[in-house]
Amino acid sequence: MGRYAQIIGWGKSVPNHVLTNEDLARIVNTSDEWIRTHTGIRQRYIATDPRETTATLAIKAAQEALRVADVPASRLDMIIVATASPEHIFPSTASLVQDAIGATRAGAFDLSAACSGFVYALSVARGLIVSGSAEYVLVIGSETLSRLVDWSDRSTCVLFGDGAGAVLLAASEVPGGILSTVLGSDGSGGNLLIVPAGGSRMPACLETVASGMHYLKMNGREVFRFATRVMARAAQEVAEQAGLTMDEVDLLIPHQANRRIIESAMKQLKLDESRVFINIDRYGNTSAASIPIALCEAIEEGRIKQNDHLILVGFGGGLTWGAAAVQWSVPLPLPETPWWRAAQRSGSFHMAQMRSLGRRALRRLQGITVRSEEGNGRQPQPILEESLQKLRAHLWKVKTSKEEATSSEEKTT
């Protein structure tokens, strides 16, 4: 029998702070009317708290997706984080997510395709599942682009917001799920949407910071032109690959970059607004997070039902574009989760945090022990040996408890 990649869990997370157009008008020379007329944006969420990062937003979205699917993190085979604003150049943001949620069996990596990243990641995840290399793959789009924006440049600072969205894909013998994907790139337009400094070509230094080269730069007119050409074409192509006509598409979920770009695609595809999901007015452009956030909102608003055909389509820096055709298979709305099940899942995430802290402490103690042994032939202090033994015993206890909890969950499932 065939293998299919089904979406069985989803979740989103946004920062606490809302930045309205009126707030922006106090910072740069703009107005609410100008922003709404040119972009369709009324507000966006901004990570003003230093504790809100690309990783922390991704972790919250991931935990929600696992909760919805009722799948323990220990069963994940791979975690992919699509982002243009990673926590670090390395380690990957995905590895930080893997540690935080307790996905002890999972590989993890980041994927860079700018605003198209989530669709690219879906395509990779589908390939892993269909080929038999994975059973469960967590795909996340997460961004804090507000930290790459020049807040004195009104051509870019009005556009972007922060947030994260996640979906859990599972192997299934039931036909449907991710039916087809289309990916594309035109690197000749790479300079049209770019963060020039911070990489190997132009490492960060006093000069690059002083000249603002670590900020996002965009040729808005050219990007707009590119987007209006590619969005409709990619949506049409992925529908054809899935054996669908546009009349059979129940909902188009586009990258939320600019309302005028979305309206252009609607016109070319002959879709009315009832068959297109738009939430740019509330979130702005959240880059790789925009499509999964919109998908979560569409589910919350009852815009998706079992057996619906969806098209997810995006474009971004690179220049890149991507589209995915999806047959939705999960019955909606979901039944309410029993309180004890929610508590059990929350407990597993707390246990993951304890495990991470324990492993870090153990690594530090091991380092101290090795340095002590190497220094002039001195032996480790007895207190270090005693602490190490206690910590190992504690970690073994945590590991055993976690395995028992996981076994209990799987039996219950």
In 3-state terms, what secondary structure has residue 60? helix
Q: Please indicate whether residue 285 is annotated as part of the active site.
A: yes
In 3-state terms, what secondary structure has residue 354? helix
Distance CA 323, CA 231 (A): 8
With the C-alpha atoms ordered 284, 288, 294, 300, is the resulting torsion angle positive or negative?
Answer: negative
Contact 275, 250 (CB under 8 A): yes
What is each CA distance from 261 to 23, 190, 227, 251, in whole angstroms?
25, 20, 7, 17
What is each CA distance from 358 to 86, 258, 394, in whole angstroms?
25, 46, 8
Q: In the chain, count H helices and then E strands.
A: 13, 13
Contact 119, 318 (CB under 8 A): no
Distance CA 6, CA 13 (A): 22
Tokens of 254: 């586009």
Q: Please indicate whether residue 214 is annotated as part of the active site.
A: no
Tokens of 35: 């922003």
Q: Please indicate whether residue 279 is annotated as part of the active site.
A: no
Residue 99: which of 311, 298, 351, 400 has the closest Cα?
351
Please state, as a whole number, how many other Cβ atoms lie within 10 Å of the Cβ of residue 378. 10
Residue 12 phi/psi, 5-degree rounding, is -140, 160
Identified catalytic residue from 21, 214, 285, 296: 285
Cis omega (within 30 of 0) on the bond before 122?
no
Distance CA 259, CA 269 (A): 15
Residue 113 phi/psi, 5-degree rounding, is -145, 30
Contact 104, 359 (CB under 8 A): no
Identified catalytic residue from 21, 157, 214, 255: 255
Q: Find how far residue 216's CA is from the centre of its chain.
A: 20
Please state, as a whole number, how many other Cβ atoms lie within 10 Å of the Cβ of residue 275. 17
Residue 177: which of 230, 136, 141, 236 has the closest Cα?
136
DSSP, res 289: G
Identified catalytic residue from 115, 157, 214, 309: 115
Residue 218: which of 155, 285, 148 has the closest Cα?
155
Q: Catalytic site residues? A: 115, 255, 285
